[in-house]
Amino acid sequence: MKLILLGAPGAGKGTVAKMLTDVDGSVQISTGDILRGAVAAGTDLGKKAKAFMDAGDLVPDDLIMGIMEERLQEADCANGFLLDGFPRTIPQAEALKALLARLGIELDMAVNLEVPREVILDRLTTRRTCTGCGAIYNVKSKPTKVEGVCDECGAAVVQRDDETEEAISNRLDVYNEKTAPLVDYYRKEGKLIDINATSSDVVVQTIKDNLPG
Ligand code: ADP
Ligand code: ZN
């Protein structure tokens, strides 16, 4: 499947994307994970991106499009991909459209994960992320077996630098201003489905039920 996952920070894009990779071998492409990897590795990209990310601001579109142009042409994308955290702005969506047309790829749909703001705030402040494999935990609803250690890969599980209250509130404002307009953009393209995303299991089932073909 070839999907875009839209939704506020904490809507569950990463969790749903990981669950969907088991359905048909489509790969999860998380621009947030790619950027955090670049920051951890101290690459040029990471150095350029870090300050934007820590403040909860968006990384400039040209850096993101450079990443995505390479990533979408890798061999593992041939089976399908789940775009998690991209596109995030109208210019990114326009650039993606041109890129996909050039590569001869057609999107199946864009999924809008809808979650009430209180749930989002609660999820983000209690969320913990694996520094090794990107697995997502929650101190209340999905703790690691050993505190601070990933069940999957053994790496450290931490609160992200952009999960302070101030950065979270900025990320939600940035989402409303820059990313929320993509919902109407994909609705006009005839690609959008809205899903109440309080339960990730329901989201995955609804996506499966709506896949074309
Ligand atoms: P979340 O969806 O939980 O906010 P992500 O892991 O998707 O978090 O992204 C973390 C940060 O990485 C964002 O706040 C932003 O700084 C940067 N980022 C990720 N994807 C993009 C993108 N498509 N465009 C611009 N910045 C991005
Ligand atoms: Zn891990």
What CATH number has the domain bearing residue 205? Answer: 3.40.50.300
Closest CA to 110 of 91, 97, 95: 97
**Atom of ligand 1 minimally distant from the CA of 86:** 23
Please give the pLDDT value at position 180. Answer: 97
Instruction: Report the side by side order of strands in the sheet with 27-30.
Output: 27-30, 81-84, 2-6, 109-114, 192-196
Say which of 2, 13, 50, 123 is annotated catalytic: 13
Pairing mode of beta strands 127-130, 136-138: antiparallel
Angle, to 10 degrees, between the axis of helix 165-174 and the axis of helix 117-126?
140
| 165 — pLDDT class (breaks 50, 70, 90) | confident
Number of domains composing the chain: 1
Please indicate, yes or no, if residue 192 is contained in any of the structural domains: yes
Provide the CB-side half-sphere exposure for 76 (13 A, CA). Answer: 11
Check residue 205 and report its DSSP letter: H
Task: Give tens-digit pLDDT for 33-83.
Answer: 999 999 999 999 999 999 999 988 999 999 999 999 999 999 999 999 999
Task: Give tens-digit pLDDT for 144-159.
Answer: 999 999 999 999 999 9
CA distance 200 to 11: 9
88 catalytically annotated:
yes
Question: Which of 94, 171, 175, 178 best tests ligand 1's pocket when mutated (most atoms within 8 Å of CB)?
Answer: 171
Q: Which residues line ligand 1 (CB under 6 A)?
A: 9, 31-32, 35, 52-53, 56-59, 64, 85-88, 92, 162, 171
- Boundaries of domain holding 179: 2-26+79-116+171-210
pTM: 0.89
Whole-angstrom distance between the N-terminal and C-terminal Cα of the chain?
Answer: 10
Please indicate, yes or no, if residue 13 is contained in any of the structural domains: yes
